Structures are given as structure tokens and as C-alpha cells.
Amino acid sequence: MFYSLRGKLMYIGESEIAIECNGVGYRCYATKNSIRELKEVGNEVFVYTYFSVREDSMELFAFTTITELNCFKMLLCVSGVGARVGIAILSTLSAEQVALAIAAKDSRTLTMAPGVGNKLAQRIILELKDKIEGISNTQINNRSDFKEESSSNAEAAVNALSVLGYSQTEAEAAVAKFDRNMPTEELIRNALRSMARRK
């Protein structure tokens, strides 16, 4: 129903914001990472939104990047992960760190978020690993432009980008622009910036 909001930032709280659009104020729950990006009350801001409807409530969630929104929606696909847990995870970790943890099957990183114990972290990895299983080393190496300097860091970055909803072709092309030996998280961040500039 709501894809995005653009308007004046009226209020910033610890876990929520309010944006005025054409005289209507919208309260949105947001991650700490997004709240830090919004900076000051009174500024004009743009956020992507997710509208959650349940039997007992209707809630709007705001994100400063489409990557964070995509990661949030991905987390909601996991049984036991509700919107508040998704916000807690993305308040503790960046979307890139979440994707990398899933791709690397690193449950310990996910348990850094409040409300995420080891069992839930393992479930997140179990239920979302299928999103990256289709990207095997063989598939990556079949592309000659990706094969020349391929490294485990580059492969992990491609896997993580696929978790965030990018196609294999998009992810490979973006990662191929950078030094394959740089840290995986830096590769992911640079690739995301590169793809954002194209839009």
C-alpha cells in the first residue's frame, strides 16, 4: 500500500520517527541505522516503507535504503521473526552484515541482536540459505569475466548480495568492478553503492 514517503521530519525517537506529508503526519518504526541517517528534525527526508497489517494492529516501518528494506522483508519470511525482531536485527547489524552472516552460516553474529537467541539465529540461516544455494562456485566460474580473478571473498560477496535480492548477474557485474581480494563486507558495500548509482 505504501511504497515510500517524502516529507518533513517532525520527530525522531529511539525506535520511531514521524514524517509530515501534505499535512498528514505518519508515525513509522525505524532501525537505529536508518534513524542515524536522518539526522535532524525539520529536514526533508525520503524513506522506503513497509506496511504491516495484523488482526490487532497496523504499523508502518521506514528505511533509508532499499537494501535495508529488502533485508527486512527477507527476515520476515522466517518463522518466528516478526517485524520488531527484524527491526532489532537491523538496528544491531547493517543489511550487508546480515546477508554476510547468512551466507557464511555465522549464527553468532546474528545473536548480537536483542531477542535473537542461538535457536532463532540457526533458523534464520536454515530458512534463508536456500536463497543462495543456487549460486555455486561452478556457476560463478562459468562466467569468463568473473573467473579471471575470482576469490573466496568475491564469491562470498556475490552470495550475500543474492540474499539481499539481487540477481546473480547483477551481483557478479557489480562485484567485478572492484578488487576481489578486499574484505568481503567492503566488497558488498562498494557493489551496493555502484548499483545504487545506476538507479
Q: Work out whether the CA dihedral 30, 36, 40, 46 comes out positive or negative.
A: negative
Range 27-56 average pLDDT: 91
Which pLDDT value is given to residue 162? 79
Helix axes 95-103, 83-92, angle to 10 degrees: 100
Which pLDDT value is given to residue 149? 43
Which pLDDT value is given to residue 68? 93
How is residue 104 written as a grid cell?
Answer: 557464511
Q: Which residue has the cell 580473478?
A: 149
Distance separating alpha carbons of residues 72 and 115, to the nearest angstrom: 16
Cα–Cα nearest to 171, from 160, 181, 180, 182: 160
Q: Which residue has the higher pLDDT, 16 or 99?
A: 16
Which pLDDT value is given to residue 50? 95
- The answer on pLDDT for 146 being more than 60 is no
Model confidence band, residue 90 (pLDDT cutoffs 50, 70, 90): very high
Q: One-letter amino acid identity for 157?
A: A
Range 15-41 average pLDDT: 93
CB 169 within 8 A of CB 141: no
Distance separating alpha carbons of residues 64 and 102, to the nearest angstrom: 22
Supply the mean pLDDT for the chain: 84
Distance separating alpha carbons of residues 80 and 177, to the nearest angstrom: 38
